[in-house]
Amino acid sequence: MPITVPLTQLGSSRRDQLDRVIEAGLAAQGRVFALSLEPVRQSLGDRWQARRDHIWDAAERTLERRLPPPDVFMRVDEVTFVAAVASRDSYDGQVLCADILRGLLSFFLGRNADDDMVLKRVASLDGGALQCVRIDPFAPRPHAESQAAPEPTRGPENWTPPLAGRRHTAAIFTSTDEPVEVEFEIVPVWRLDTGAVGAFRISRDVREVASLSSAQIEAVDRATIEFLIPLLEEYRREGGVFAMIAPLSFPTLAMGRPRLSLIQQWASVADLMRQAVILEIQDVDAGVPMGRSGDTAAMLSPFFRGLMVEIDDVQAAEKALSEHPFSGVVIDGDRMAAPGLLGRLIRAARRCTRNILLVNPPRGLDEASLRRAGISHVTELDERVQAAPVPEAVRPDASVPA
């Protein structure tokens, strides 16, 4: 039976944040939960008014620790907190919220709180109220979900993920080279296991230039940070939900002066870089001296939420992945000219990580084929998706563990 949670006490800024969570499709994907402290209010009786500020503060500290970005939470009335779990699927989010609620109730009530737990899943925001459904916080993962990968659920019909499609064109000038243009676009990154948006990625396209000089590469990286900073300032101002993958070039990051220049450039949003930005290191080729990619990654790791490396050469990939525990790898399907190269790159990556993001997927591959091939994340397929069996070139080696 639906349960209504009125939002009459919710301020305009938190209502705007809640609207963005709903618009992002998280409620439609079953990843927004309402946690109730009503048993605490009932237990305190007349003492509730005197102690509620202390209880709110303690609960918010716990939620802040347990739900770091990209997850978000807010208090919507005297006893209800809403948690939007962007970092996990709906069942894992349910387990996390149940564990948080159990801990809060046990702390405030001083007893085993299982019988006091009221956990609800938020279905929609209808006017001035949340429409919720009470769920069993201890229910096991649905059998069908545990036995087979779920079909993608790309949010409500005609839904466009927030941030998706934002574009910017920058003119790149150096003292010795011809000017070039770079087009930036934000594209959603979909998790193939849940069909949910897991992050957003900044895509870069340098127009009509076969190769760039080192000065131009550095200028493109600086333009990338210039594009990223306003997004992070918006994240701080309005409350973020998703992680952002930002590409920067290894030749720039490996050199002390340009690397320091980039760090100084993002200094005003350094805290948000650590919270929300995953660095994608590009252009790590086989000629990089042994240890250089690992040293560079280790120096940059404290500045970011995570590090990924783009790979398009098997030898370079194996060297880089052996030198640093990257969070994942990025493979660009448009750069897979050699037959079978995509499959070899997937096999090399899966020895070290299960997070493999395929951008610009080759034509003729549907999502089920990509999952079987070992891909975990993908940028939007659009017209590239065709119902076709997975080609031999991307079939994972049977010897590679799943």
pLDDT in the model for residue 162: 62
Residues 378, 190 contacting (CB under 8 angstroms): yes
pLDDT digits (tens, 9 = 90+) for 67-98: 877 788 999 999 999 999 887 888 888 989 99
pLDDT in the model for residue 259: 95
**CA–CA distance, 347 with 164 (Å, rounded to integer):** 30
| Residues of the chain with confidence (pLDDT) below 50 | 144-158, 382-402
Residue 73: closest CA among 104, 108, 50, 48? 104
pLDDT in the model for residue 303: 93
What are residue 248's phi and psi, to 5 degrees?
-135, 155
pLDDT in the model for residue 240: 63
Q: Which residue has the tokens 């997070």?
A: 355
Residue 297: partners with Cβ closer than 8 Å, 6 or more residues away: 281, 307, 309, 323, 324, 326
- Displacement of CA 198 from its chain's centroid (Å): 4
The helix/strand/coil state of 384 is helix
Alpha-helical (H) ranges within 289-340 are: 292-300, 314-323
Q: Which residue has the tokens 């720039």?
A: 252
pTM, to two decimals: 0.63
> Can you count the helices (H) and strands (E) in the chain?
13, 15
Residue 341: partners with Cβ closer than 8 Å, 6 or more residues away: 312, 314, 393
pLDDT digits (tens, 9 = 90+) for 295-336: 999 999 999 988 999 998 899 999 999 999 898 999 998 887
Which amino acid is located at 398 in the chain?
Answer: A
**CA–CA distance, 168 with 111 (Å, rounded to integer):** 55
